[in-house]
Amino acid sequence: MSKDPKKDKWEVLLKMDDNNKSGIPKKAYTISDADLEEMDLELSVIKADNKHGHNSWGWNGDDKIILLDESLDTRKELEWWLKVAEILKNGMNKNDM
């Protein structure tokens, strides 16, 4: 465990094609259904200090829980998965797992 409590927190990570940034890209909320169908996605709840997990696709483990690893048909589906990820993240942080 890290001495910095922010680094021990869980966060939501949505990778869209070549995105390696933390969090959820703004385009997740504006992308068209047609573009979304053609895009590779990975949605996970990940520890903030898991640098390898942030930079890599896959690598499920104790500090990265992959919820979705496929393309979706609609933005509505993506928004539903993002809500699921937020619920899991909040639960993990609340229970300090």
Residue 56 lies in a domain: yes
Residue 4 lies in a domain: no
Read off the DSSP letter of residue 26: G
Please tell me the predicted confidence (pLDDT) of residue 58.
Answer: 87
Residue 60 lies in a domain: yes
Residue 28 lies in a domain: yes
pTM score, two decimals?
A: 0.84
Please tell me the predicted confidence (pLDDT) of residue 10.
Answer: 95
Please tell me the predicted confidence (pLDDT) of residue 5.
Answer: 60
Please provide the average confidence, as pLDDT, over all residues in the chain.
86
Residue 1 lies in a domain: no
Residue 95 predicted with pLDDT over 80: no
Q: Tens digit of pLDDT for each residue in 40-82?
A: 899 999 999 998 888 888 888 899 999 999 889 999 999 999 9
Q: Work out the burial of residue 84: count CB atoms within 10 Å of its CB; fewer than 13 is exposed, 13-18 middle, 19 or more buried.
A: middle
Which residues constitute the domain of residue 62? 10-95
Q: Whole-angstrom Cα distance, residue 83 to residue 55? A: 23
Confidence of residue 31 (pLDDT cuts 50, 70, 90): confident
Q: Give the chain's domain count.
A: 1
